Chains A and B, each alone.
Chain A
Amino acid sequence: MSAAPAVVAVNTFREAVRDRVLYNLVFFALTMIGAAIIVGQISIGIERLVIVNLGLSAISVFGLVMAVFIGVGLVSKEMEKRTLYSLLSKPVRRWEFLVGKYAGLLLTLTVNTSFMTLGLAAALFYVGRPFVRTDGSILVAVYFILLELALVTALALFFSCFSSPMLSTLFTLGIYVTGVFAKDIRDVGDLTQNPVVKATALVLYYLVPNFHNFNAIAAAAHGETVPISFVWQNTLYAVLYVTLVLLSAAAVFSRRNLK
């Protein structure tokens, strides 16, 4: 197995770490979690619910912003700046470059999400609430956010292989929003009598990633336990979907003429 993907991944991580924009995003996310403390203090009796809800939402939204905005530039920026020319003259296969870029951004997102999760734990600790066993569902929710980000990053990378950053952003966010409402789209298909709408809803439901299933924020806020089978199901779904998207990206990128 070639070491090229790992070498590219470490460099992608290094690039993100040296990018000041990233620190701004983490700062804003931690500020949001801090603000949750204040809102929590004025929400008598439901402090935990408010802090967990706002904190996890902040982690999800800022993670999504990072995944989309860094993801859409992963390949296109290298093509535009022509840094790819020197890199691809080395013994690096194009798919290895793609896997490396993907893994690098995923590593960045995991590290950032971990920092933000620590911020949320600090906020919960600050309001003097002891940690209980059901808080494990917060970690499950964070894990689901990471799976969601892994999917979004793969989509952003896929579009980045053949379209501009602007279009890639639109496509990725479009699929994300559709995926969040995947369950509602299926319900529309079930209720309608129109065969065209029915078929379209069905195709959309199976084609776009079902992001609805990755939202465990409400369960974590209410201290509900998430069944382990659901964790496995989401993990398997994300791995399969990401693999398919990365294979498609590799197929597109491996025959692409660089400008």
Chain B
Amino acid sequence: MSNPAIEILGLTKDYPTGFFRQRVRRSLDNLTLRVEEGEIFGFLGPNGAGKTTTLKLLMGLIFPTSGIARIRGWSIDDVRMHREIGYLPEQPYFYDYLTARELLDYYARFFGFGAAERRERVGRLLECVGLAGAANLQLRKFSKGMLQRVGIAQAILHDPQVVFLDEPMSGLDPIGRREVRDIILEQKQHGRTVFFSTHILSDAEMLCDRVAVLVEGKLRGVGSPGEIVAIEVHGMEILFEGRDGRALPAELTGRAKKIGGRYRLEVPEAGLYSALEELRGCNARILSVSPVRPTLEDYFLRVAGEGHAKAVAEEVRAR
């Protein structure tokens, strides 16, 4: 059996706090996760959930209190692992005295590329992220969105097998976000694994094969966006209108939501047939019947809300 792209086993990170550092704040709690080769994996969670901590642990920027992780079979402590990965930090910042071209050339040198190959790669990547026109501009003159593009370029400069992106859409306008989505999909087409954290749930829903939701350092759910939200499918939506412009009983329209000249009625799954009978009896034209699927955002808000409520309850109990 081949190695998974990312394998995380019981990863935990505690930070000492307080003046004498005798107290401990758990930033990541026993995270176990497996990401297969070629997947686009979304890592979701509210601020302070532990997403960036996880990425920093995987990059070897901080060290775990306990647990281990492997990327394509390489331990995260092994420097050879870094040849296999690319990383875009959250709100990236680079040497502002360098131009975009110089920065990418600098990073390319660590992979041992010759001068001609570096030139070709750097030029191609700058083109790919839409910065060819600003290639010789010092980074101190770059906007946040432009820095984000440079960050993405440096992350995929050496064709890594696993790409880690921390909030890749942050600071980008809708066109930039679309371009980043295209880059992520292109990586998948080339058989690469993309692991990215995001707050923009529509992007995760659109791009990801699977997502994980992290709240207060704990993993709250893993699966495809469809699977994750399907956990709580609980209703049917009926779209209807009056036949030939005739008015419908006020008792019925009062329960429905009016959208233009149409009505939207949400009923429990078990009550679908009786509702349809009722509508037929009122001579309403039924336009569509579809299950009410909560969005990833609904799920996210619910688990994040539960986590927040639990934290407040624990704080109150501690007092």
Seen from chain A, the residues whose Cβ lies within 8 Å of a Cβ on chain B are 3-4, 7, 11, 14-15, 18-19, 81-93, 255, 257-258
Q: Which of B108-134 contact A (CB under 8 A)?
A: 109-112
Q: How far is the CB of A144 from chain B (nearest CB, A)?
A: 32
Q: How far is the CB of B88 from chain A (nearest CB, A)?
A: 8
Does A91 contact B79, Cβ atoms closer than 8 Å?
Answer: yes
Mask, B58-101, CB within 8 Å of A = 1, is 01111100000000000000011011011111011111011000
Q: How far is the CB of B117 from chain A (nearest CB, A)?
A: 15
Does A83 contact B109, Cβ atoms closer than 8 Å?
Answer: no
Does B62 contact A257, Cβ atoms closer than 8 Å?
Answer: yes
* Distance between Cα atoms of A93 and B78 in the complex (Å): 9
Report chain A residues within 8 Å CB of B148: none
Does B109 contact A89, Cβ atoms closer than 8 Å?
Answer: no
Does B87 contact A86, Cβ atoms closer than 8 Å?
Answer: yes
Residues of B in contact (CB 8 Å), total 31
* Distance between Cα atoms of A258 and B181 in the complex (Å): 29
Say whether, besides A83-B93, A86-B151, A91-B79, A258 and B110 are in contact (CB < 8 Å): no
Q: How far is the CB of B62 from chain A (nearest CB, A)?
A: 4
Does A85 contact B97, Cβ atoms closer than 8 Å?
Answer: no
| 24 residue pairs A–B, Cβ–Cβ below 8 Å | A7-B106, A7-B109, A11-B98, A14-B98, A15-B95, A18-B97, A82-B91, A82-B92, A83-B93, A85-B56, A85-B87, A86-B107, A87-B107, A88-B60, A88-B61, A89-B59, A89-B85, A89-B86, A89-B164, A90-B82, A91-B79, A91-B82, A257-B62, A258-B61
Chain A, residue nearest B82 (CB) = A91
Report chain B residues within 8 Å CB of A89: 59, 61, 82, 85-87, 89, 164
Whether B154 is near chain A, meaning CB under 8 Å from some CB there, is yes
Does B111 contact A91, Cβ atoms closer than 8 Å?
Answer: yes
Q: How far is the CB of A27 from chain B (nearest CB, A)?
A: 20
Q: How far is the CB of A75 from chain B (nearest CB, A)?
A: 14
The listed residue (B79, B80, B89) touching A86 by CB distance below 8 A is B89
Chain B, residue nearest A84 (CB) = B61
Does A83 contact B94, Cβ atoms closer than 8 Å?
Answer: yes
Chain A, residue nearest B86 (CB) = A89
* Distance between Cα atoms of A45 and B63 in the complex (Å): 66
Report chain B residues within 8 Å CB of A255: 63
Q: How far is the CB of B256 from chain A (nearest CB, A)?
A: 52
Q: How far is the CB of B4 from chain A (nearest CB, A)?
A: 20
Does A258 contact B56, Cβ atoms closer than 8 Å?
Answer: yes
Chain A, residue nearest B89 (CB) = A85
Report chain B residues within 8 Å CB of A15: 95, 97
* Distance between Cα atoms of A84 and B92 in the complex (Å): 10
* Distance between Cα atoms of A18 and B99 in the complex (Å): 12
Does A14 contact B97, Cβ atoms closer than 8 Å?
Answer: yes
**5 closest residue pairs by CB, A with B:** A89-B87, A85-B89, A257-B62, A91-B82, A90-B110
Say whether, besides A91-B80, A257-B63, A19 and B97 are in contact (CB < 8 Å): yes
* Distance between Cα atoms of A208 and B93 in the complex (Å): 37
The listed residue (A11, A18, A88) touching B59 by CB distance below 8 A is A88
Say whether, besides A14-B97, A91-B111, A258 and B83 are in contact (CB < 8 Å): no
Q: How far is the CB of A197 from chain B (nearest CB, A)?
A: 33
* Distance between Cα atoms of A4 and B110 in the complex (Å): 6
